[in-house]
Amino acid sequence: MKLLITGGAGFIGSNFIRYWLKNHTDDEIVNLDKLTYAGHISSTKDFENNPKYKFVKGDICDSNIVNNVVKGVDIIVSFAAETHVDRSIVGPQVFLQTNVIGTQVLLDAALKFKIKRFHQIGTDEVFGTLSLGSKEKFNEKTLYDPHSPYSASKAASDHLVRAYFHTYGLPITITNCSNNFGPYQDPEKFIPRAITNLIEGGQVTLYGDGKYVRDWLFVEDHVRAIETVLQKGKVGETYLVGGLTEDINHLEVTEKLLQIFGKDEGSIKFVTDRKGHDRRYAVDWTKINKELGWKPLYGFDEWLTKTVDWYKENSWWWKPLKEEAEKLYEKTGQK
C-alpha cells in the first residue's frame, strides 16, 4: 500500500510517518510538505533514508505538484494546514488559502486518481467553546461554531471534505482531535514553549488568568487513532479523538511543569489575553472507543515528564526554531 502524507514534516505528520514506517514495514510513504514555519525537515532526520519513504517539497495549493504525487497512491492522510491561532489573528488570508483551497485541490486529485481513502485531520476547535466547570463535551453531533480565523478555515475544510463524499462519493473519513503534545512540537506552541523557556531559565507565559482548559492528547495516541480509523472506520464518518477524562487548565499544566523542573510560581508570567480566546475544550471520544475499540494509552502526567525529557535531550532540534517562534509573540504584544 502507498500513502501520501501531506504536512509530514510538521509535528503530528512526522510522528505519524515515524510510527507508520515502524509498524507497517511493507507500505510506502510519500511526504508532501511546503516546509513553512510549521514544517521542519529536521523532524524527518531519523527516517529520511528509509527506502520506503520519499520526500517531495511542494504546496498543496499547486495542482500540478499534487496530481504528480497522488498518482499511484492508495490513501491520502491530510495533515497539511496552517494551525496556529495567534498566527491566524495576525494574518488570516494564508489560513484560508492553505486550509480551504489546498484541501479542495487535494480532493480533486483524490477523485481524479480514484483514491481508496481520503482522511482529513481536523480539530476540536471547530466546535467553539464550552463553559468552565460544566460537564458538557464536544461530540460528533456538536454544531460547528468556530471563533478564530484558524478554526473557521478548518471548519470550512471539514465541510468541503464531507461535500465531496456526498456529492461525488469520494471515500472519506475525518478525525477531530484535541490539543496534541509530545516530541517534535514547534516551540511556539504552549507546552513546548513553556518547556523550552524553563530549560533556558525563563518564565512560562500564560494568557489572562491561565484557567483555559484543553483536552490534552499525547501525539502517539492520536497517531494510533488515525491508524484505527484507516483500518476499521466507516467511510463518510467523523470520529472525535481526545486524551483526557477530567479537565486540566493551563495554570495546572504549568504547575506540573514547575514541579518537574523544581521551580516555583515566580517562573510564571501572566500577559494580556488573546483575542477571542476559547475558554474550554473537552472531547467525548465514546464513538471511536465503542465502535472501533480505540482508547488513549498514555497518561498525561507520565508523558508530560517524558516530553520534558525529550526536549532536554534534543536541543539540536528546537534551539534553531526558538528565536523565530518568539517573534510571533512579539508581533502580538504578548511576549
Spell out the residues 6+ positions from residue 60 whose beta carbon is closer than 8 angstroms to its own: 6, 7, 32, 34, 66, 78, 80, 98, 102, 103, 105, 106
- 30 touches 2 (CB < 8 A): yes
Cα-only R_g, the chain: 19
Nearest to 296 by CA among 180, 156, 134: 180
- Catalytic residue (one of 28, 124, 247, 278): 124
82, 86, 150, 186: which is the annotated catalytic residue? 150
C-beta separation of 262 from 149 below 8 A: no
| Contact residues for 18 (Cβ-Cβ < 8 A; gap 6+) | 46, 47
Number of H helices, E strands in the chain: 12, 11
Cβ-contact 208, 251 below 8 angstroms:
no
Dihedrals phi, psi of 331, to nearest 5 degrees: -65, -40
Contact 106, 77 (CB under 8 A): no
Q: Is 125 a catalytic residue?
A: yes
Measured CA to CA, the distance from residue 223 to residue 79 in angstroms comes to 11
Active site residue 246: no
Do 214 and 281 touch, CB atoms closer than 8 A? Answer: yes
Q: Note the residue count of the chain.
A: 335
Give CA–CA dist 254/261, Å, rounded. 10
46 among known catalytic residues: no
Which of 125, 188, 247, 278 is catalytic? The answer is 125
Position of cell 494510533?
A: 224
Other beta carbons within 10 angstroms of residue 167's beta carbon come to 9
Q: Which residues pair with 206 in a beta bridge?
A: 270
Contacts of 97 (CB under 8 A, 6+ apart): 61
Active site residues: 124-125, 150
